[in-house]
Structure 1
């Protein structure tokens, strides 16, 4: 497996196939190690294609988790660049995650499987909301004490992962799961009911594409 430098958009066709295969294998099996033979078979490439890239397959999971975290964080930041209200940013971010799980089920299953256990994946769910919660506390937009931010992040992450599982397993639509999760979390942060409901049902912008 080649090291995942640069953007996903800049990957070669073979690199993309290998990454997608690795993501499926990790998510389906719930393990963080695969063999070269398993990866080659799942990706539909020769073992030599992987060996020729002089990769350490043992570090593949961490490479993949890091790359997916960087990619999603960059795209969400770009998508919400014009949104200043921390409550709106939180609701939008939650729904962007849940919608992507619907649009890209292998990605959703990978996030659902490892989002609570792998440190890199935990960072994926916490980085942006942490800043938004800090801003909301400073501006008194959210009813939350600073020492409660860590607990709020844990609650939000668990709720988003639950919504993703519900979507990829076919129990809810992404709109239902995303809006319900966003509304309940905003209510927990002290946002009035009518406003929380409105923010959770606003038209959702498209997720910005990753630039090369």
Structure 2
């Protein structure tokens, strides 16, 4: 019988999943999703290969679980950063700053774009995980339009355009270059949606 990690079966399952997610993230950052196997992920996580199937049917299922976990954590962090901010423009600035700080392993991983190596069904489910994050942006934009601080616009068009800008924009890891890139990205998005852009210090 496999050794139980933690004080209960539930805790064991959660810790095992966390180990698998950490191993997947590390290996993806090194080689890319297409270049690693489920056996390699299990070995890096210190989990028996057959035990992996108690949690995930295959490598793509593991990826979906990882992204769902990361997205949920990110949305919680984003909502915490927005708590107490009433001005929609300041909410939008906070949203953009949070997005530029986000490190998406599955976007930064070397190798082919994930969309070219995943099945159509998995691609569709990956898209579903973006909806939660987009919902926050949608709420901010609607509030800004209702308050009269943003011009009326097609939200269904604006939201994916803003996200395409944020996900496709490389930001340096740290230092003045990172701050400058983040400020420029923020100003660009504000102008794009018709929000007032604060004067740069």
TM-score (normalizing by structure 1): 0.67
The aligned residue for residue 160 of structure 2 is: 154
C-alpha RMSD of matched pairs (Å): 3.2
**1:56 and 2:56 are equivalent in the alignment:** yes
Is the 2:17–2:55 Cα contact (8 Å) retained in structure 1? no
The residue matched to 1:167 in structure 2 has which SS? coil
Tell which structure's C-alpha radius of gyration is larger.
2
Separation in 2 of the partners of 1:150 and 1:141? 19
Partner of 1:29 in structure 2? 32
Q: Could you tell me how far 1:86 is from its partner in structure 2?
A: 1.3
Counterpart of 2:172 in 1: which secondary structure? helix
The 5 Å alignment of 1:106-185 reads: 108-111=104-107, 118-145=126-153, 148-163=154-169, 165-167=170-172, 173-185=177-189
Greater relative contact order structure (CA < 8 Å, 6+ sep) = 1
Contact 1:36 1:47 in 2 (8 A): no
1:149-191, Cα deviation, whole Å (9 max, x unpaired): 122111211111123x3436x8x84322222111111112222
Q: Where does residue 3 of structure 2 map in the other structure?
A: none
Higher mean Cα deviation, 19-28 or 67-76? 19-28
Paired residues of 2:91 and 2:140 also in contact (CA < 8 A) = yes
Distance between the aligned counterparts of 2:52 and 2:19, measured in 1? Answer: 15
Gaps of 5+ in 1: 1-10, 102-107, 202-212
Q: Which runs of 5+ in 2 are unaligned?
A: 1-13, 116-122
TM-score when normalising by structure 2 = 0.71
CA distance in 1, matches of 2:75, 2:17: 21
What is the number of residues matched between the two proteins?
174
CA distance in 1, matches of 2:192, 2:52: 52
Cα 1:137–1:130 shift into 2, 3 Å: same
The 8 Å contact of residues 21 and 39 in structure 1, kept in 2 or not, is answered as: yes
